[in-house]
Amino acid sequence: MLNLVLFGPPGAGKGTQSQKLIARYNLVHLSTGDLLRAQITQGTELGLRAKKLMDEGLLVPDEVVIGMIGSALKDNQQASGFIFDGFPRTVPQAESLDRLLAEHGTQVSCMVALEVDEQELVTRLLERGKTSGRPDDQNEEKIRKRVTVYNTETAQVAGYYAQQNKFHALNGIGAIDDIFGQICGILDQHQPATSQSSQQATKEVKA
């Protein structure tokens, strides 16, 4: 399986690139925020537990988030791989994800971080805020705080994956297709041998 941890500060373009990667590699997009909302809507045991904590103003513990990811892995066993969007955010979460994936006979292939300077992010998000309707996209102070939190969290996780030779940083400023091409170049290096052989065979048949 091809499993990508896609990181980048708010406004870096993760959503845009995720959609293109999903189409090209047949990946399932796993966003912890989306998973939380889905589990709560479905009224699952994990969802009810998460809702209770959130209603009390508490953070959802790692084991609940990992449990939701585990459920998503079971529900998508035919997928070619997954994009983990914004998760893991801490080294303990990364270690838990490694253990979970190992139980499913797979592992994180690589982590790609889209790097964009803070002022560019502020400009992008304020512009997005004109149409997104999100309050946190319309307040410069909140935007800068979100970027600071991201940078603080990501530094440790980047180091974790760097030790495994799986961390890659890319300039997130430029043409969308150019950035997409760079990400694909990285993913193609980390694809399982069977997938690479399959792709090569497909290319030869088409040729």
For the question of residue 134 being annotated catalytic, the response is yes
Active-site option among 37, 51, 128, 144:
128
Residue 7 host element (H or E): strand 2-7
Active-site option among 89, 145, 166, 203:
89
Neighbouring residues of 138: CB distance < 8 A, sequence distance ≥ 6: 126, 129, 130
Tokens 């946190």 belong to residue: 136
Provide the token pair at 89: 């955010």
Provide the token pair at 171: 């300039």
For the question of residue 203 being annotated catalytic, the response is no
For the question of residue 14 being annotated catalytic, the response is yes
Active-site option among 134, 142, 144, 206:
134
Q: Torsion angle, CA of 161/157/180/4, rounded to 10 degrees? A: 60
For the question of residue 128 being annotated catalytic, the response is yes
Beta bridge partners of 113: 7, 169
For the question of residue 49 being annotated catalytic, the response is no
How far apart are the C-alpha atoms of 93 and 89, rounded to whole Å?
A: 7
**Catalytic sites, residue numbers:** 14, 89, 128, 134, 146
